[in-house]
Amino acid sequence: MSIKVTQIPGPKVEEIAREERELLATSTKCWDTPAGPVEAKGIYFRDKDGNVLMDWTNGMVVILGHNHPRWNESVIDQINKFVYFNGPDFVYDVQKEAAKILTQITPGNWKKKVFFCNSGTEANEAAMKLARISQKKNLIIGFLGAFHGRTQGSLSVTASKSVQRKGYTSYLNNSFSVPYPYCYRCWYNMTYPSCDLYCIRVIERYFQHNLPPDDVAAFIFEPVQGEGGYIVPPQESFKLLKSILDKYGILMIADEVQTGFGKSGYMFASSYFGVEPDIITIAKAISNGLPMGATVFRASLDFKEQGMHSNTFGGNPLSCRSLIEVYNIIQEESLLKRVVDMGNYFKQKLYELMENSRTIGDVRVLGMLIGIEFVKDRSTKEPAKEIRDFVVKRAYEKGLLLLSCGQSVIRITASYIITQQEIDEGIRIIKEAVEEAEKLFL
Ligand X SMILES: Cc1ncc(COP(=O)(O)O)c(C=O)c1O
In the complex, the smallest distance separating the C-beta of residue 304 from ligand X, rounded to whole angstroms, is 26
For the purposes of burial, counting CB atoms within 10 Å of the CB of 28, is it exposed (0-12), middle (13-18) or buried (19 or more)?
exposed
Measured between alpha carbons, how far is 299 from 267 in angstroms, rounded to an integer? 21
Question: Which strands, in side-by-side order, build the sheet including 175-178?
Answer: 112-117, 293-298, 279-282, 251-255, 216-221, 139-143, 175-178
Nearer to ligand X (CB atom), residue 35 or residue 360: 35
In the complex, the smallest distance separating the C-beta of residue 405 from ligand X, rounded to whole angstroms, is 9
Nearer to ligand X (CB atom), residue 359 or residue 404: 404
Nearer to ligand X (CB atom), residue 149 or residue 153: 149
In the complex, the smallest distance separating the C-beta of residue 181 from ligand X, rounded to whole angstroms, is 16
Q: Give φ, ψ of 412 to 5 degrees.
A: -110, 120
Nearer to ligand X (CB atom), residue 283 or residue 363: 283
Give the binding site for ligand X (CB under 6 A). 119-121, 124, 147-149, 222, 226-227, 255, 257-258, 283
- Compute the CA torsion angle 5, 10, 16, 22 (nearest 10 deg): 130
Nearer to ligand X (CB atom), residue 240 or residue 283: 283
Query: Residue 409: enclosing H or E segment and its boundaries?
Result: strand 409-412
Nearer to ligand X (CB atom), residue 213 or residue 260: 260
What residues does 363 pair with on adjacent strands?
A: 372
Alpha-helical segments (H) within 89-144: 93-105, 120-135
In the complex, the smallest distance separating the C-beta of residue 56 from ligand X, rounded to whole angstroms, is 16
Measured between alpha carbons, how far is 221 from 17 in angstroms, rounded to an integer? 35
Q: Output the residue with the shortest Cβ distance to ligand X.
A: 120
In the complex, the smallest distance separating the C-beta of residue 281 from ligand X, rounded to whole angstroms, is 7
In the complex, the smallest distance separating the C-beta of residue 298 from ligand X, rounded to whole angstroms, is 20
For 97-215, strand residue ranges (E) read 112-117, 139-143, 175-178
In the complex, the smallest distance separating the C-beta of residue 441 from ligand X, rounded to whole angstroms, is 29
Nearer to ligand X (CB atom), residue 234 or residue 291: 291
Nearer to ligand X (CB atom), residue 129 or residue 428: 129
Measured between alpha carbons, how far is 107 from 95 in angstroms, rounded to an integer? 20
In the complex, the smallest distance separating the C-beta of residue 183 from ligand X, rounded to whole angstroms, is 19
Q: Answer for the pair 158, 328: CB distance below 8 angstroms, yes or no.
A: no
Measured between alpha carbons, how far is 211 from 229 in angstroms, rounded to an integer? 27
| Nearest alpha-carbon partner for 180 in 138, 146, 148 | 146
